[in-house]
Amino acid sequence: MLGRVNHIAIAVPDLHSAAESYRSTLGASVTEPQALPEHGVTVVFVTLANTKVELLEPLGEGSPIAAFLAKNPSGGMHHICYEVENILSARDALRAAGARVLGDGEPKIGAHGKPVLFLHPKDFQGTLIELEEV
């Protein structure tokens, strides 16, 4: 079912300073901020040789990462995104295996313009999993 790791995500309290830290201190290439109001976050991507790091901060009221940041005020590892060939068949197989698919279970379009879904962290070793169809 799982393909490559598409990205590792870090939730941050201040996206600008986190992006600057990756650019200046770590010498990395970082994209410009992308507001995703339908997801309640603003993101940038750190481009690496073998994957990406997504830095994300809350956007608007009711951001799904607000509680996470309240618990982790300096920020922290938030989710891992795996690529899948067919997100609907992956979803159906995961549901059949008893995993909880978050939201209404219908894929939404993510930062890369591809369908994404999220799986409950309590079902996968305390780690929030995002699936992105490629």
Catalytic: which of 54, 130, 132, 133? 130
Indicate if 54 belongs to the active site. Answer: no
Least distance in Å: CB of 7 to Co ion? 6
Q: Which is nearer to ligand LZKTLF4L, 78 or 91 (CB)?
A: 78
- How far CA 71 is from CA of 13, 75, 78, in Å, comes to 11, 9, 12
How long a stretch of residues is the chain? 134
Q: Which is nearer to Co ion, 82 or 94 (CB)?
A: 82
Q: Which two tokens stand for residue 50?
A: 């073998």
Q: Does 131 bind Co ion (CB under 5 A)?
A: no
Residue 44 C-beta-side C-alpha neighbours within 13 Å: 20
Sign of the torsion angle spanned by Cα atoms 89, 110, 3, 7: negative
- Name which position in 28, 33, 102, 124 contacts ligand LZKTLF4L (CB under 6 A): 102
Q: Does 9 bind Co ion (CB under 5 A)?
A: yes
Q: What positions carry a catalytic annotation?
A: 130
